[in-house]
Chains A and B, each alone.
Chain A
């Protein structure tokens, strides 16, 4: 690619886009858009991990952040009152939705391209599971207990009256 190493060019592009979408996620005045930018940010960060050869962490990153946290935030936003004024421009919402869908398709589709550019050793899931269930089995159990307790406590706090 113009005499530049492909991986380094990809690193620059992914790093730049990650920072841009991170700034947009914090700076965007509308919460729904900020959450959307955060989801794109999570996908880009997952692509960086995939580029580094740690595909499993990249997939977990995309699943947990873009598929879990971002959707959870969107779900919670539905409980909040809508303070924005109604759209005056006709079809503006549809156009924005189309742009959003196109962005998601582009960034999710680029995962395949990034994964084809990996060089060097790829850390497989079997390597990682051997480490996890070998010397770190207690850590795995503690994390599972933490997640379970969090789930119980959060659901209790959410439904508690008064």
Chain B
């Protein structure tokens, strides 16, 4: 399936790497906790994509990667649940879902 010298595995692997870059960019630059949560979810999605693509093309008979992907998706759901609760708590206590206000937690 090589066309233009690039096969599907490279397309999907590069997509995953770009998603990791976008996720880290959002994680570093955004102050809103909802935006940070979306960036973290992008990172989880990229990890799942890389895992599935890697095993799908190199070890198609091994299904263990799918178990790992399912665990990662569950971890992402857990993370989203806690992130949402944190956003609501920050909103209740400080009046803004901005991560900067949480600096008070470490005594600054």
Contact = CB atoms under 8 A, between A and B. Distances in A.
A103 interface: no
Contact of A136 (B26, B67, B75): B67
Given A131-B67, A157-B85, A26 B38 contact: yes
Interface string A46-57: 001100111011
B34 A121 contact: no
Contacts of B63: 123, 127-128, 131
A51 B100 CA distance: 41
Contacts of A26: 22-23, 25-26, 30, 35, 38-39, 42
Contacts of A98: none
B11 A34 contact: no
A97 to B, nearest CB: 21
Interface of B: 1, 3, 7-8, 11-12, 14-15, 18-19, 22-23, 25-26, 30, 32, 34-35, 37-39, 41-42, 45, 48-49, 52-53, 56, 60, 63-64, 66-67, 69-71, 73-78, 80-82, 84-89, 91, 97
Interface of A: 4-5, 7-8, 11-12, 15, 18-19, 22-23, 25-26, 31, 34-35, 38, 41-42, 45, 48-49, 52-54, 56-57, 60-61, 64-65, 68-69, 72-73, 75-77, 79-80, 120-121, 123, 127-128, 131-132, 136, 139, 143, 146-147, 150-151, 153-154, 157-158
30 contacts: A8-B7, A15-B14, A19-B18, A19-B22, A25-B38, A26-B30, A38-B41, A41-B45, A45-B45, A48-B49, A54-B56, A56-B66, A57-B48, A57-B52, A65-B45, A69-B41, A72-B81, A72-B84, A73-B34, A76-B84, A76-B88, A121-B60, A123-B63, A128-B67, A132-B70, A136-B67, A143-B74, A146-B74, A154-B81, A158-B89
